[in-house]
Structure 1
Amino acid sequence: MMSTLLAGIQQLAARGNVRVSAHGFDELANDDISFGEVLGGLPMAVIVEEYQDYHKGPCVLLFQLLDDGGPVHALWGLAKNAPDMVTLITAYRPDPEKWSPDFLRRKPK
């Protein structure tokens, strides 16, 4: 079942109402991930965790695949002060030591 939050994020992104946080730009560069790949993978994304009550606005951590088939986690959100714009908060290559083999569940500490 599709989350209402994810559906809203995907609709805004499809309309081009997208921005990237400063932290997001840094993380994309650190992990050599292209924003275009993350944006392009959004329609097929799978929810990892949803944070409806995040203090800056609701956001969702998604599992996506890059063009080369590599895994990426992307945190997309709707800021309280700009609900008509979706923000890529961060994106990174998940650490296999910290995640299940499918990258959908955190391993216990």
Structure 2
Amino acid sequence: MEYIYRVHAIERMFQRDIYENQVEKVIEHGEVIESYRDDKPYPSFLVLGYVDGVALHVVYAKDDKNNIIVITTYRPNVNKWKNDFKTRKV
């Protein structure tokens, strides 16, 4: 298993000062809060984790070889997410 970072994820990580070790920590220890089973070519998942007390969302998928494909990552915005950062505001 290896981590594969999409170009979009790398661009966003650079813009947002998010590092690979933070992303991987969230994927390994975070909580899946949404599943996108119909995504193509592989189902994807939104994970919430905390790095140094700061919430971080990571969207990733797993390919047929069990590699983790990092699609994007961001710090959840309180205008779009409830205080638990697990529930979207309507």
TM-score normalized with structure 2 length: 0.90
Structure 2 equivalent of residue 100 of structure 1: 82
User: Whose Rg is larger?
Assistant: 1
In structure 2, do the counterparts of structure 1 residues 43 and 78 end up closer, same or farther at CA, with 3 Å as the change threshold? closer
Aligned-residue CA RMSD (Å): 1.2
Structure 1 equivalent of residue 38 of structure 2: 53
Quote the sequence identity (%): 26
CA shift, 1:37, in A, is 1.2
Asked if the contact 2:50–2:56 (Cα under 8 Å) also holds between the matched residues in 1, the reply is yes
Structure 1 equivalent of residue 47 of structure 2: 62
Report which structure shows greater RCO (CA 8 Å, sep ≥6). 2
Gaps of 5+ in 2: none
Higher strand proportion: 2
Asked if the contact 2:26–2:56 (Cα under 8 Å) also holds between the matched residues in 1, the reply is no
Structure 2 equivalent of residue 74 of structure 1: 58
CA shift, 1:57, in A, is 1.0
- The total of aligned residue pairs comes to 89
Q: Structure 1 residue runs of 4+, over 4 Å off?
A: none
Aligned residue identity for 2:59? L
Structure 2 equivalent of residue 88 of structure 1: 70
CA distance in 1: counterparts of 2:27 and 2:62, whole angstroms: 15
CA distance in 1: counterparts of 2:5 and 2:70, whole angstroms: 5
Gaps of 5+ in 1: 1-11
CA distance in 1: counterparts of 2:23 and 2:54, whole angstroms: 11
CA distance in 1: counterparts of 2:25 and 2:39, whole angstroms: 25
Aligned residue identity for 1:78? K
